[in-house]
A and B are shown apart, each in its own frame.
Chain A
């Protein structure tokens, strides 16, 4: 459990971090370190340089913007779940964030680090997809903004290009009558998601006008938007019957993940159960 020797530099600004990254091709960005350091201790990852961005002030903030909330990438999980502006708008962020790791992890781990790592069982990706968040990245060629669905591409795989870092996540203003929830079936050892279901539903006069349902843990390709579930909800009345029919459409046609805690068959079954439970919550039933 001893990493190989590694150099360490603390970046003072985003531009310095990007320059260091460009100058050192064998380097890794260090934020909270909760995914990277264990991998280094097991010598699964042995960068020659760590570029620490955790203390860059311009990356750690949470602010209301256009009715939504913008979150700096170096904000910790605890920063997010304890923020009143997030709490009042996005139930899914609170419910997902509270189930990440333990107190120590939530105090140090960061939103940007988690989404850049893109663990296929991580909680934030599903929440961001369900909220239709946008993710800002910056690199030697300037800044870009992607939707969460565009950002998460697969198994530990994102749209980040060589030399880019995540700088900000923007959660759009919630629509009137919307509610978002997260329901998670945990792997008993790691407590990562075997199935994590994030659902955001907007109801107008008893009718569902918008619904986004995203999963983590379910697919070997990471978090994804389950469009079939959303499609089965929109325009229907917010009833248990509607939900059950929609949930039954979940996780079809997906390359399912499997491990010794959950086979593909069981995972798919759980995805449907958790879609139902999330939608019951999101519809306030």
Chain B
């Protein structure tokens, strides 16, 4: 254990690009998503939402709607407004005061705080009737001025989102070295690069919209919630303990197939509690599925930071200090993990890959009349990476040096975390293992830096603008251990559960609390189990997503599933093998210490006497010839609480071409050299990187939620919100370096978010480089880099 190697595995499946076993049902349209489930007697809910970003509700008249044929019940804030969903992470003000935590009611009765805030829920015999009835509800609003920009919401006189939260400040927070030390370092710097920018708000856009079914069985007094979620057990815990006060053992939460989340399905949403309440009230199942328009308004958004960042260098180009002031927009209400994202998932990553001796982040987290903001693929780490990597490339331009040499000069030296200790940052974290020079060198080989600079000059002569941008990122996955995150304010543990049940015939059912929403757990985990037990993958079934089946779980987010969930399964596999060895030793008449388990066989060392895995499984359940004092059965469950985060890292390089006449930007090449530790299924890791790159490049060039002065989203549909499409992207050039994680049994680090974390600044840096090459010395172009914004930058 703990050496990061895979010495005890057969390597029959690990490291192989096994095709995803779940894909047959997905690509043949047979996936079973929540909205595919129809229960007998089911009713349908429609939620009436506020058309205003900020308004007092003077009255709600549901009488006409209630009288419509087919309407089963109508709920408003008067009935359920005292229930509210909680925030899962407490952060304190700098002065120690607890953050402002205004209620987030299931339905609003006093005032609405963002467009899409829920005012009433109609339950009817069909979706059509429910929507028709909702449109017949008359709400009298007194419209109030709205505020959407976090940096302006704190100003005196700004509208107050919550009447009792002064200046809309949820909390202020800082991390790093004492501010005075950083100020001193910056004052001594030979060069300071200053960058003011917005890391814009994006909409998650999971392919499957959120969908929930509430069900109450009066015979057994049992609730079932079907939900498109990333973590069914956490939803059950939050809803039972903190929202509705239901007994947890009487509530089953099922997450069927889930069609993507990107973070947005981590959180406990009001509608989950509403359908549960409505099911009890009506005695009938209640389904609610959002429309795409509602998804834009209500699925928690990502990013939205307004930042001023300064990086100081000495005369040799060594970084001497980093000073940052950021306003983070939390939206109108606190979503489940919203407070952790700009703080512990962002401030802690500001060391980057660099030896920066003095760092200080001053963070203000702010309420606005907007959709709640929470973790979105990368969650805080992309914002940290964007800040650092933009500063690095811009500093190189300002100082007239090679951006890659500037990085190499400032990188933390390689360390394996085994023979060399982890790297202690100035922002709380201790990196596990890393070889940062390696990924940059490999990226440069793939790019051909000097050749590119030559091509850039030649292109300029023929009227084309080429640019290259770099991003050497680090991130933190598998957030843990529980005691540490608890001390930082998490109101949950961050371990994972893995149960391995060997059936009498030697077939294996694995129960994991890590719930796939598209990542391919059913394949990757089966590869690990089949490899460890030396059995065919077909003999392994991965079961996830049902709180009645899986003991417990913390779900899938933060690239944690394999590093934490896979490790929990590994712990149970060890217990299975240990017990199997005892059974084998008894039957083979030797000491358990003399048994070795290789390729699915328990063998007496140095002999040809052995028993197969299936023989031992059968013996465990038919224990006729069996060790005394050993329980029958072969079924173990384990909780794995990691000792540290894992720290994937990598080098992303973008080459762009900018149309001088229009500002249109095309990504011509994208190179990604990622080090995610050991790799179980290279194809799945590549797929995760591809998807992450698409989203990261999407943020750079295409995506961004835009509000008008009244707090309306002006691009809340796919006609106006630009998602990255295949023809927006080049063929990706991927490579990998492997620096195993030293502290988990698989040596894995996590790959789900890396692509999204590294890529955004590489693209923006490349555009800035292209513009500098033509003499336009702009520091920043606001993301997304629409053609007009790039063109405007070239007019100055």
Contacts and interface: CB of A to CB of B under 8 A. Distances in A.
Contact of A185 (B132, B292, B664, B728): B664
Nearest to B132: A4
A147 B70 CA distance: 51
B288 to A, nearest CB: 13
B720 interface: yes
Nearest to B719: A190
Contacts of B786: 188, 261
Contacts of A269: 791
B719 A260 contact: no
Nearest to B788: A266
Contact of B706 (A43, A188, A260, A266): A260
A273 interface: yes
Given A189-B721, A190-B720, 13 more contacts: A1-B291, A4-B128, A5-B128, A185-B664, A185-B787, A188-B722, A188-B786, A189-B715, A190-B718, A260-B706, A260-B715, A261-B788, A262-B788
A2 B133 CA distance: 13
A245 interface: no
B7 to A, nearest CB: 50
A189 B662 contact: no
Nearest to B723: A189
Interface in B774-796: 786-788, 791-792
Contacts of B720: 189-190, 259-260
Interface in B19-60: none
Contacts of B662: 185, 270, 273
22 contacts: A1-B292, A1-B293, A2-B127, A2-B131, A4-B132, A42-B293, A185-B662, A185-B664, A185-B787, A188-B702, A189-B715, A189-B718, A189-B723, A259-B720, A261-B786, A261-B788, A262-B788, A263-B788, A266-B791, A266-B792, A269-B791, A270-B662
B661 interface: yes
Contacts of B661: 273
B788 A2 contact: no
Contacts, number: 50
B8 interface: no
A263 B127 CA distance: 40
Interface in B129-170: 131-132, 135
A2 B45 CA distance: 13
Interface string A181-199: 0000101111010000000
Interface in A1-60: 1-2, 4-5, 42-43
Nearest to A276: B661
A263 B792 CA distance: 11
Interface in B737-796: 786-788, 791-792
Interface in A229-285: 259-263, 266, 269-270, 273
A282 to B, nearest CB: 18
A261 B719 CA distance: 12
B714 interface: yes
Contacts of B128: 2, 4-5
Is the interface on chain B under 10, 10 to 19, 20 to 34, or 35 or more residues?
A: 20 to 34
Contacts of B792: 266
A183 B720 CA distance: 21
A92 B127 CA distance: 44
Contacts of A189: 702, 715, 718-723
Most buried by B among A4, A42, A261: A261
Contacts of B721: 189
Contacts of A262: 787-788
A2 B292 CA distance: 11
Contacts of A42: 293
Contact of A260 (B664, B702, B714, B787): B714
Output the residue of B292, B661, B723 with the most chain A CB within 10 A: B661
In the A-B complex, the 7 residue pairs with the closest CB atoms = A189-B722, A188-B722, A1-B291, A190-B719, A266-B788, A273-B661, A189-B720
A246 B786 CA distance: 27
A182 to B, nearest CB: 16
Contacts of B664: 185
Contacts of B787: 185, 261-262, 266
Nearest to B706: A260
Nearest to B724: A188
Nearest to A266: B788
- Residue in B127, B714, B787 with the greatest tally of chain A CB atoms within 10 Å: B787
A270 B127 CA distance: 45
A5 B788 CA distance: 42
Contacts of A2: 127-128, 131
B667 to A, nearest CB: 13
Contacts of A188: 702, 722, 728, 786
B205 to A, nearest CB: 12
A259 B714 CA distance: 10
A185 B787 CA distance: 10
Contacts of A273: 661-662
A264 to B, nearest CB: 11
Nearest to A38: B719
Nearest to A270: B662
A195 to B, nearest CB: 9
Contacts of A263: 788
A121 to B, nearest CB: 10
Contacts of B714: 260
A259 B787 CA distance: 13
Contacts of B728: 188
B131 to A, nearest CB: 6
A42 B721 CA distance: 16
A183 to B, nearest CB: 11
Contacts of B292: 1
Interface string B694-716: 00000000100010000000110
A260 B792 CA distance: 14
Nearest to B708: A260
Contacts of A192: 719
Contacts of A43: 135
